[in-house]
Structure 1
Amino acid sequence: MNIFLVAIGGFFGAVTRYFVANKLSFLNNSFPAATFFVNLSGSFLLGLIMGGFPSSKWTLLVGIGFLGSYTTFSTFKVEMINQLRKKKWKPALIYMFLSYFGGIVLAFLGFLTGLRL
């Protein structure tokens, strides 16, 4: 049963990520807004799930399944490498700092919010 919860969540997470990336594709600039948005929103939501439902079926469905496929560490790294290869130092550093630091802060805020549920 658990594997099906992860699989169902993963399917919907991947579809949602694709949808968000398409909707934000109009922001065709040097900053990868779609990946930035999904990773930060996913960090907050994972914190929320872990704070509010730390050991439940919701963790499997939403935390591991949905958010595991919704967020993307590998695309973030590829986009960072591409920016550095093109010598776009400032956008690359801003993207890296905001992604790492913002992700941690938002996961923590989500966790605190989840504790109140």
Structure 2
Amino acid sequence: MLDLYSIETFALVGIGGAFGALARYAVIRSVPSQNFPVGTFIVNVIGSFILGAFTFSNSSSGILLIVGVGICGSFTTFSTFSLDTVRLIEENNLLYAAINSIGTLTASLFAILLAWIVFL
């Protein structure tokens, strides 16, 4: 078990976090999303599945720090999802705001459930 405040723990989370943030940036920038935040939707659903997969497959604490806390923590983005939804409301795209809100939450929960079914 790794010490919560050790240099090794900070390094594992930091390395994973850097990778996750860069991956999120790459996905969001590479997916065209004029009226709907497709990139944000994709990273949140994929990140949910990955987090579930590593959690339910009983990965070691070091792997969970790198992947779960680091990569998935910085790859997924609740704040951008929230901002995207508010921007859709501001633009009077209420249907897209509802689809984004309900769709992201539903798909992300389904992704975790799928990982649970596959890896437990």
Normalised to the residue count of structure 1, the TM-score between the two structures is: 0.91
- The counterpart of 2:29, out of the listed 22, 26, 47, is 22
Alpha-carbon distance between aligned partners in 2 of 1:28 and 1:102, rounded to the nearest angstrom: 18
Structure 1 gap segments, 5+ residues each: none
Alpha-carbon distance between aligned partners in 2 of 1:80 and 1:101, rounded to the nearest angstrom: 15
Query: Structure 1 stretch 47-56 or stretch 87-96: which is displaced more?
Result: 47-56
Root-mean-square deviation (CA, aligned residues, Å) is 1.2
Structure with the bigger RCO (C-alpha within 8 Å, sep 6+) is 1
Q: Please tell me whether residue 102 in structure 1 is matched to residue 107 in structure 2.
A: yes
Q: What SS is found at the alignment partner of 2:34?
A: coil
1:18-77 deviation line (CA, Å, top 9, x unaligned): 1111211xx232110000000000011111011002552111000000010001000000
Kept after mapping to 1: 8 A contact 2:28/2:39: yes
Kept after mapping to 1: 8 A contact 2:20/2:75: yes
Alpha-carbon distance between aligned partners in 2 of 1:2 and 1:32, rounded to the nearest angstrom: 33
Alpha-carbon distance between aligned partners in 2 of 1:48 and 1:108, rounded to the nearest angstrom: 10
Alpha-carbon distance between aligned partners in 2 of 1:54 and 1:98, rounded to the nearest angstrom: 29
Q: Please tell me whether residue 4 in structure 1 is matched to residue 15 in structure 2.
A: no
Count of residues paired in the alignment: 113
Partner AA of 1:109 in structure 2: L
Who is 2:42 aligned against? 37
1:91-115 deviation line (CA, Å, top 9, x unaligned): 1101111101111111111122222
Partner AA of 2:73 in structure 1: G
Structure 2 gap segments, 5+ residues each: 1-7
Kept after mapping to 1: 8 A contact 2:16/2:66: yes
Normalised to the residue count of structure 2, the TM-score between the two structures is: 0.89
Give the share of equivalent positions with the same residue, in percent. 35
Who is 1:49 aligned against? 54
- The counterpart of 1:72, out of the listed 70, 77, 82, is 77
